[in-house]
Each structure stands twice: as C-alpha cells, then as structure tokens.
Amino acid sequence: MNIALIAHDKKKDDMIRFTTAYTHIFKEHSLFATGTTGLRIMEATGLEVHRFQSGPLGGDQEIGAFIANNKMDMVFFFRDPLTAQPHEPDVTALIRLCDVYEVPLATNMGTGEVLVRGLERGDVSWRNIVRGITEN
C-alpha cells in the first residue's frame, strides 16, 4: 500500500510517536510524506520515506495528485484544528480528494489507531482492486 504521512507543525511530535509505535506495520508499505514530517519520521524510525515538498510549498497538492490518480491508498494527516493554516485551501482540497476517491483518511491519532490496525489486518486490501492490482 502507498501511505501518505502529513502533520501540521504542532502535530509533528504526535506523528513521530505514532510512526515509531507502528514502525513494524509501516515498514511493509511505501511511505510518502511532506518535507519536514518525512525527514523527522526517517530520523526517528529509520523507515524509508519519499519526501514531497513542504505542505505550504505544494506538498499537499503533490499528494493530492497521487490520490487523484489512484496512487495513494491511505492518508494519515494529523491536523492542528486550533491554529490557522496559511494553506488551508490546499488542506481542504486534499481532504475532499480523499472523499472523492474513497481513500481512508485519519486526521488525528485516534482515527489513525483504527486505520493502522485495519491496515495490519488487511482490511484495506480492496484498494488493490481499485488500483487494478491482482494477487497471484
């Protein structure tokens, strides 16, 4: 599965704790992240992460393009609902694309816990069908 990992500044520590706790699950998948979040995840976990631009510099849109082309299977986007974001329209567009293309999305650690456990059990294997991948 292709998985996006994004976190607003005040949620980056949460994302690091989360990916560290579930390194054993994430290491089985292809990971993509926005700039600083991806770097911090790699440093903390040793996981390989493809890094896009920082969110405000277009990283959210780069991930959105993957979603629109059915190249992203799950998104963990830990948002800070209490701080205004200068690129809020990009954030809204990304969430909208997840809804349009039925890509599972966690915007906080609580929902992230449910999704990562589902990922571990294979509950999102239907994404392979959406992407045209068949198992032998």
User: Can you give the CATH number for the domain in which 90 is found?
Assistant: 3.40.50.1380
Task: Evaluate whether residue 16 is within a structural domain.
Answer: no
CA distances from 95 to 51, 75, 133 (A): 19, 9, 24
Task: Evaluate whether residue 103 is within a structural domain.
Answer: yes
Per-residue model confidence as pLDDT tens digits over 80-108: 988 887 778 888 999 999 999 999 999 99
Local confidence band at 131 (pLDDT 50, 70, 90 cut-offs): confident
Task: Evaluate whether residue 14 is within a structural domain.
Answer: no
pTM reported for the whole predicted model: 0.92
Active-site residues, by number, are 60
Rounded mean pLDDT, 43-67: 94
Q: Is the pLDDT of residue 129 over 80?
A: no
Average pLDDT, the chain: 92
Number of domain units in the chain: 1
Task: Evaluate whether residue 15 is within a structural domain.
Answer: no
Rounded mean pLDDT, 33-40: 95
Task: Evaluate whether residue 113 is within a structural domain.
Answer: yes
Task: Evaluate whether residue 114 is within a structural domain.
Answer: yes
- DSSP class of residue 125 equals T
Task: Evaluate whether residue 17 is within a structural domain.
Answer: no
Task: Evaluate whether residue 89 is within a structural domain.
Answer: yes
Local confidence band at 126 (pLDDT 50, 70, 90 cut-offs): confident
